[in-house]
Chain A
């Protein structure tokens, strides 16, 4: 005992463990005092590369292993000896928590993929921490991925976007059903217009739902209908409501959030939505109801855009689009919602612009379709994306019409691009714009372009594919665009060689981790030591979704939409679908926040993220996200075994 005392006089708490744990989730949540106590109990073990630390169903787990340096892979082996890779864990990660908590043997195999040093914490100490520290326990007990993402999102919002206003979460938390303020008011279709107006006045409401003889709701009549169809057109007030009602009624499920209602209203250019609960219409909400919830809203901007009568007026309005993003991020919008909102607003600007241009230039000699490419085509625009567009017109009949069309659309394309530049959409560096004669062509030429890319794939063709194959009709004769998509889908599914080229391209990008130690960052130049989150992180997801969609004939262009359809079509597993969506959305969010910060600092937004500025949790989540890229590539190898 005396000896013991004497020895203790000369021993100190090992700083190395304390320092490490302070930077490691969830130990950083612990008090210094507790941290010091557990640090004193930690030991260090070393496992050379290739050592199996846990053997599934065999190893009794006596310690929590916290990786100080190095990395491990975690895999499952089934009865047939088939190995499924589950995860990679690097510095600051732990292994063994689950078996300790569950009191079971190792549930997975763990093997070091690098020379690895671990801190070992006795399982009793770990269990004790879990029992005595609720916050610590929460970290482990909640489902791994869910917990990570939630906290990471919250952290992004709270710490990285300085609050400017008291963030109201209404738009994303209030359900449409909760907005219904009054009883549903209906009127029979046979009732007179006058009685409808009277009823609206009596109840101080702006709309009525119209019912048929059976009492089924068949349409809606609004005060705008009374103004534009009755008073303006001089209709008799004795006519039945049926003559002016809008049918069928646009409906939305009561469980949807206000944001979704807003999107429907904006994309359909309407102000009233019937709210449906379990297949029954229970009320009507208006854009005004949402506006009241929302101090300043995207809807306001939207209204300004659609009512704009001068092209020049659009210039300043389009500059306001990025401003709404802050509100949306503050309100907790998922990145896909933000991009959808930006897309809708940009689409309306384009719609107004091209409509007003036609008023100036006169109607086109043949119908045309404005094509949006790249991120615009995928509805994934962020703050300022380069223009990627093209123009396709109906095949002219005869030489004179051909020349007339060529001339009209050349002028049209060039002017449109000029206006778009003034609206703040930078030119495409690759000149993929409707002002380029090559990309302003009749339908048959476009069809030939695509056939050529698909039938004679060369590296450059594959590169083209990434931009052109995400096209979406943006304005004009949309059916022409859909027809082209239809044609192209039939072609690609048969052309294995073309798909193989795309697949090969997908496999070339390496996940941006040099195995845990660091992220792959740019080695020199302006963006030294920064991570290009677009090229390294997001593009592999986009490429994967495109390749698989072309392979399985999916017409959707939005990456998340594509993934959803791939999952519904059972081309990817539910597990992978969820992982992929989470990984993709998290990176999008990170990019948004980064770009927002740059814009607010008065800089031109870019995609270069400094890993040093990320918190541990963000880094960890990002690493998890990157790990998904490897899994996507494995799927590609599976689907295209001949690469």
Chain B
């Protein structure tokens, strides 16, 4: 926990949903099999990549339970940013100012989103970015950050690729892409439309299922296994 959060907790009351969130993860068992955990796979569409000044315009999330994607247990909202919707971002996510004119504010949906995530691990593709935006928002609006352990499918994909590297020199092939849709193509996954928060979340969920079953030749059983698989890769550098 960042120092700023600790300080913040001293003088600012946390929202009950955040307290609930922290209570669950303060006592968290990593040794259960993956099937016993719930995962929330999520993706955000943003006005830009700078978490200091940019904002969330859409959140899409879907639940994985028993290592199956529960397609209907999803969370999908458009959010009206407080500032302008930059034109260049519209070009990427195709969300127009018109579409979000009547959308709720982030404040109105954030509590629901945190509640949706409570008790689950969080999965995302390059999840650090999305978490930076979410935590900035929860800190401001709910008085604290969320404590869900996060799993980055991008990192898993890198580990998987490293496992696949039979040839030493492949490591110097810099043309490889870890872009979500490129990975979906490469692994022959069912392909979703891009740049829609929910579709991207579902795509990430497919990628996650694929990777946890394929990594270590199917030898990943527990959350700890998954963590170790990720760590071994990091030691190489």
Chain A interface (Cβ within 8 Å of chain B)?
Answer: 3, 6-7, 9-14, 16-17, 39-48, 68-69, 114-115, 117, 120
A364 to chain B, nearest CB (A): 66
Q: Does B25 belong to the interface (CB within 8 Å)?
A: no
Q: Which residues of A contact B67 (CB under 8 A)?
A: 45-46
Give the Cβ gap from B49 to chain A, nearest Cβ, in Å.
25
B69 nearest CB neighbor, chain A only: A44
Q: Mark B191-202, 1 if CB is under 8 A from A, else 0.
A: 010000011001
Among the listed stretches B72-80, B93-101, B154-162, which one makes contact with chain A, having 4 or more residues with CB under 8 Å of it? B72-80
Q: Does B214 contact A (CB under 8 A)?
A: yes
State the majority secondary structure of interface residues on A.
mixed
Q: Which residue of A lies closest to B111 (CB)?
A: A6
Listed A/B pairs (20) with beta-carbon separation below 8 Å: A6-B115, A9-B112, A11-B74, A11-B75, A11-B76, A12-B74, A14-B72, A16-B199, A16-B202, A43-B69, A43-B70, A44-B206, A44-B209, A45-B69, A46-B206, A46-B210, A47-B213, A68-B190, A115-B187, A117-B206
Q: Are A69's CB and B188's CB within 8 A?
A: yes
Contact B109 A10 (CB under 8 A): yes
B40-71 CB mask vs A (1 if < 8 Å, else 0) is: 00000000000000000000000000011111
Contacts of A3 in B (CB 8 A): 115
A182 to B165, CA, bound (A): 85
Cβ of B189 under 8 Å from chain A: yes
Q: Which residues of B contact A (CB under 8 A)?
A: 67-77, 109, 112-113, 115-116, 187-190, 192, 198-199, 202, 205-206, 209-210, 213-214, 218
Q: Please, which residues of chain B bring their CB within 8 A of the CB of A14?
A: 71-72, 74, 202
For A44, give its contact among B71, B76, B116, B187 (CB under 8 Å).
B71
Q: Cα distance A3–B205 when bound, in Å?
A: 24
Write out the residue numbers on chain B whose beta carbons fall within 8 Å of the beta carbon of A117: 189-190, 206, 209
Knowing A7-B115, A7-B116, A115-B187, say if A48 contacts B68 (CB, 8 Å): no
Whether the Cβ atoms of B115 and A46 lie closer than 8 Å is no
| A11 cross-chain contacts in B, Cβ below 8 A | 72-76
State A17–B71 Cα separation when bound (angstroms): 8
Residue pair B190, A16 in contact (C-beta under 8 Å): yes
The docked-state distance in angstroms from the alpha carbon of A292 to that of B199 is: 63
Extra A-B contacts (13), CB below 8 Å, given A7-B115, A48-B218: A9-B112, A10-B77, A10-B109, A11-B74, A12-B198, A14-B71, A16-B202, A44-B69, A44-B71, A46-B209, A115-B210, A117-B206, A120-B68
Residues in B whose Cβ lies below 8 Å from that of A115: 187-188, 210, 214
Contact flag A44-B68 (CB < 8 Å), given A16-B202, A69-B188, A115-B188: yes
- In Å, the complex CA distance between A233 and B54 comes to 110
Q: Which residues of A are found within 8 Å of B116, using beta-carbon distances?
A: 7, 10
Which A-B residue pairs are the 6 nearest by beta carbons?
Answer: A14-B71, A44-B69, A46-B209, A40-B72, A43-B68, A69-B190
Residues on the A chain within 8 Å of B69, using CB: 43-45
- State the CA gap A114–B214 with chains docked (Å): 12
Chain A contacts for B115, CB-based, 8 A: 3, 6-7
Q: How far is the CA of A70 from the CA of B72 in the complex (A)?
A: 23
The reply to whether B68 and A6 contact each other, CB–CB distance below 8 Å, is: no
Name the A residues within 8 Å of B75 (CB-CB).
Answer: 7, 10-11
Asked whether A13 lies within 8 Å of B206 as measured between CB atoms, the reply is: no
Output the least CB separation between B34 and chain A (Å). 12
Measured CB to CB, the closest approach of chain A to B86, in angstroms, equals 25
